[in-house]
Amino acid sequence: RTSADAAGGVTVLGLGAMGTALARTLLAAGHPVTVWNRTRARAEALAAEGATVADTPEAATAANPLVIVCVLDYAAVRQTLEPAAAALAGRALVNLTNGTPAQAGETAAWANGHGADYLDGGIMAIPPMIGHPGATLLYSGSRAAFDTHQRTLERFGVAAYLDKDPGAAPLYDIALLSAMYGLFGGALHAIALVGPGEGRATEFTSTLLLPWLQAMMASVPEFARQLDTGDFDSRAATSNLAMQAAAYANLLDASETAGVDPLLLRPMGELLRRAAAEGHGDRDVPALGTLLRTERR
Ligand code: FVH
């Protein structure tokens, strides 16, 4: 790792909630920051905090050796970067836009074709967390770009380099977001069942829901161990899947009766029924994981 970039100049393309948080964090750490945003007013707001506003993505890209892009999606990435392609040669391009591994691979090939070192990234944080404990950003792609700019990237939070395959960071990002949405969906369904209002949701959440989720979370490392080893020992099952499939029907029935749409719950019920039908009824929850992968790596 070099220290050459300790307070080096950085370009930030895209100043939505996240891009603004990234640029502010760099400014606060003393980096010269050049910004560009499709809607210029958002960039002007940062000028008051010391950023230099570029008129075009190309001018912004040409300004610094490290260029960070964080916009809505990869279509917006291309719309932003294509006019700047001529300025990319010799720069490190770090794309923190949410996307798929395939999109990351295509963008890496495109950026490399224009002479840039490409790093893809997944931000495991919301904007107020940037620059504070608890924020982790995943990176994959050019190891050289990561090593050169690691200290700058650490301004945002823990900087974890995963692999030279640019698709690795978006894959892990999407895996973590999948777990988050499962958790959020389950919590929202539970609160809807209790019937929010008059403080019921707040009381239910603090006294019962959070302790329950924390207790159940303790099972997840064992899921991972069994999936890693393939050791689904039925004799060790404490909550067999046939029993769970039978009980799960009550969740759907009671939700409908309570006027709560069970759309978030149905897929797990289908998986439990399938597991029982395919002979996994005497196994425990981790065996469900074997039914999810439609093709092996
Ligand atoms: N905010 C969050 O909680 C999450 C945390 C994890 C990472 N995500 C991803 O970060 C990307 C940016 O998200 P954001 O929160 O900054 O999003 P917005 O505040 O909605 O800002 C969107 C920016 O994208 C620009 N933009 C949209 N379309 C285009 C386009 N065709 N060409 C150029 N720029 C475009 C938009 O510009 P403007 O509307 O101000 O002109 C904003 O700068 C995202 O991938 C998250 O999934 C955030």
* 37 CB near ligand 1 (under 6 Å): yes
- CA-CA distance, 207 to 197, in Å (whole number)? 16
| Superfamily of domain 172-292 in the CATH hierarchy | N-(1-d-carboxylethyl)-l-norvaline Dehydrogenase; domain 2 (1.10.1040.10)
Query: How many other C-beta atoms can be found within 10 angstroms of the C-beta atom of residue 147?
Result: 13
Sign of CA dihedral 110, 114, 120, 126: negative
- Predicted pLDDT at 141: 98
* 44 CB near ligand 1 (under 6 Å): no
- Predicted pLDDT at 47: 96
What is the mean predicted confidence (pLDDT) over 145-170? 98
What is the mean predicted confidence (pLDDT) over 164-172? 98
pLDDT band at 191 (very low <50, low <70, confident <90, very high): very high
- CA-CA distance, 275 to 237, in Å (whole number)? 14
For all residues of the chain together, what is the average pLDDT? Answer: 95
- Predicted pLDDT at 7: 84
In this predicted structure, the answer to whether residue 297 has a pLDDT above a threshold of 70 is: no
- Predicted pLDDT at 3: 44
- CA-CA distance, 35 to 49, in Å (whole number)? 12
Task: Report the CATH fold assignment for 10-165.
Answer: Rossmann fold (3.40.50)
- Predicted pLDDT at 126: 98
Ligand 1 atom 5 nearest Cα: 126
Query: How many other C-beta atoms can be found within 10 angstroms of the C-beta atom of residue 97?
Result: 27
In this predicted structure, the answer to whether residue 211 has a pLDDT above a threshold of 60 is: yes
The answer to whether the CB of 10 falls within 8 A of the CB of 26 is yes
In this predicted structure, the answer to whether residue 291 has a pLDDT above a threshold of 80 is: yes
* 57 CB near ligand 1 (under 6 Å): no
* 13 CB near ligand 1 (under 6 Å): no
Instruction: Indicate which atom in ligand 1 lies nearest the CA of residue 18.
Output: 16
pLDDT band at 4 (very low <50, low <70, confident <90, very high): very low
In this predicted structure, the answer to whether residue 236 has a pLDDT above a threshold of 90 is: no
19-58 tens-digit pLDDT: 999 999 999 999 999 999 999 999 999 999 999 999 999 9
- CA-CA distance, 217 to 196, in Å (whole number)? 24
Candidates 206, 204, 227, 239; CA nearest to 292 is 227
* 84 CB near ligand 1 (under 6 Å): no
In this predicted structure, the answer to whether residue 5 has a pLDDT above a threshold of 70 is: no
What is the mean predicted confidence (pLDDT) over 73-90? 98
ipTM: 0.99
Instruction: Indicate which atom in ligand 1 lies nearest the CA of residue 42.
Output: 40
Instruction: Indicate which atom in ligand 1 lies nearest the CA of residue 38.
Output: 41
pTM over 0.90: yes
Alpha helix (H) residue ranges in 132-285: 143-153, 168-194, 200-204, 210-217, 220-229, 241-257, 266-275
CA atoms within 13 A on the CB side of 296: 1
What is the mean predicted confidence (pLDDT) over 249-258? 97
- Predicted pLDDT at 233: 83
Portion of the chain with pLDDT greater than 70, in percent: 97
- Predicted pLDDT at 18: 98
Q: 178 CA to middle of ligand 1, Å?
A: 20
Q: Where are the domains of the chain?
A: 10-165, 172-292
In this predicted structure, the answer to whether residue 212 has a pLDDT above a threshold of 70 is: yes
193's tokens: 């069942």
281's tokens: 């009824």
pLDDT band at 77 (very low <50, low <70, confident <90, very high): very high
Of 20-24, 235-239, 253-257, 279-283, the least confident: 235-239
290's tokens: 């074997």
What is the mean predicted confidence (pLDDT) over 233-238? 84
